[in-house]
Amino acid sequence: MPNAKVLSEKQAVVAALTEKLQNAAAGVIVDYKGITVAEDTTLRTQCRENNIDYAVVKNTLLRFAFNNVGLNELDDQLNGATSLAVCMDDPVAPARVIAEFAKKLNGKFEIKGGFMDGKVVSLETVNALAAIPALPVLQAQVLGTMLAPISALACVLKQIAEKQGAPAEEAAAE
């Protein structure tokens, strides 16, 4: 039986994990067997750049934290070498970054499951989330869609002005 000090340390870790899971927009559980230190460093750098909290976690401690927040369905996934990637503000980021990394490593790094907004999501959902582009890319696409009609109108007006024989600058000045 563990002594009181070790037990209190583990309870503190479970409490911190529980709080992190409660505040997370989304998270992904990963089996990271066999990755090198360089690969792990690269992954952690990408996670920091995307505001993702990535950590290797003991299965028993993570199981207690999952049970505390109602994610009991993920208990079956907690075997082997497990790490957890969570993001507090972007629900797509953990799935996208981890899936990209899993593709690069072919079998060394495997997504076990995930959750979003306090609910367990299937592996297919995690993979679908991973296919969604990053938020700045989506914003640029929306902006481009909004500007397209205005740009088309400007081109048409310029062509009409040139067709009538007036240079575009003179037509715009009138």
pLDDT tens across the length of the chain (174 residues): 568 888 888 888 888 888 888 888 888 988 888 788 888 888 889 889 888 899 888 888 888 888 888 888 888 888 888 888 998 888 888 888 888 888 888 777 888 888 888 788 877 777 777 777 767 777 787 787 887 888 888 888 888 888 887 655 554 555
Domains of the chain, by residue range, sit at 4-132, 136-173
Give the C-alpha separation, 79 to 31, whole Å. 8
Length of the chain, please? Answer: 174
φ/ψ region of 95 (left if φ > 0, alpha if ψ in -120 to 50, else beta) reads alpha
The strand pair at 82-87 and 26-31 is best described as antiparallel
Give the C-alpha separation, 52 to 54, whole Å. 6
Cα diameter, the chain: 93
User: How is residue 152 written in tokens?
Assistant: 């088309």
Are 74 and 119 in contact by the 8 Å Cβ rule? The answer is: no
- 4-132 folds as Alpha-Beta Plaits (3.30.70)
CA distances from 21 to 24, 69, 88, 120, 131 (A): 5, 7, 9, 12, 23
Helix (H) or strand (E) holding 86, with range, is strand 82-87
**AA letter at 138:** L
